[in-house]
Amino acid sequence: MSAEEVEALVIGGGPAGLMAAEMLAGAGASVLVTEAKPSLGRKLLMAGKSGLNLTKDEPAAAFLAAYGPEGAWLAPFLAEFGPGEVMDWARGLDQPVFTGTSGRVFPEAMKASPLLRAWVARLSGLGVGWRMRWRFTGWEGEAATFETPGGPRALRAGATVLALGGASWSRLGSDGAWAPVLAGEGVPLTPFAPSNTGFRIAWSEAMARHFGAAIKPARLRAGGSESRGEIVLTATGIEGGGVYALGPALRAGAEARLDLVPDLPEEVARARLARPRGGASLSNHLRKTLRLPPQKIALLRECAPEALDDPAALAAAVKALPLRLDGPGPLDAAISTAGGVAPAALDADLMLRARPGVFCAGEMLDWDAPTGGYLLTACLATGRHAGRAAARRLGRAAG
Q: Which pLDDT does position 99 carry in this prediction?
A: 97
Render each residue's pLDDT in the chain as its tens digit; 399 residues. 789 999 999 999 999 999 999 999 999 999 999 999 999 999 999 988 889 999 999 999 999 999 999 999 999 999 999 999 999 999 999 999 999 999 999 999 999 999 999 999 999 999 999 999 999 999 999 999 999 999 999 999 999 999 999 999 999 999 999 999 999 999 999 999 999 999 999 999 999 999 999 999 999 999 999 999 899 999 999 999 999 999 999 999 999 999 999 999 999 999 999 999 989 999 999 999 999 999 999 999 999 999 999 999 999 999 999 999 999 999 999 999 999 999 999 999 999 999 999 999 999 999 999 999 999 999 999 999 999 999 999 999 866
Q: Which pLDDT does position 50 carry in this prediction?
A: 83
Alpha helices in the chain (DSSP H): 15-26, 42-47, 60-65, 71-80, 83-92, 113-125, 179-184, 241-244, 247-251, 266-273, 282-290, 294-303, 311-319, 374-393
Q: In sequence order, what DSSP letters do the residues of 40-53 get, joined into one string?
A: S-HHHHHHGGG---
Q: Which pLDDT does position 141 carry in this prediction?
A: 95
Q: Which pLDDT does position 49 carry in this prediction?
A: 85
What's the whole-model pTM score? 0.94
Secondary structure of residue 151 in the 3-state scheme: strand
Q: In sequence order, what DSSP letters do the residues of 205-266 get, joined into one string?
A: GGGGGGTT-EE-S-EEEETTEEE-S-EEE-SSEEESHHHHTTHHHHHTTPPEEEES-TTS-H
d(CA 283, CA 321): 17
Nearest to 362 by CA among 41, 26, 29, 39: 41
Q: Which domains does the chain have, with CATH numbers?
A: 4-194+333-393 (3.50.50.60), 199-323 (no CATH)
Q: Which pLDDT does position 48 carry in this prediction?
A: 81
Q: Which pLDDT does position 192 carry in this prediction?
A: 97
Could you tell me which residues are beta bridge partners of residue 341? 189, 365
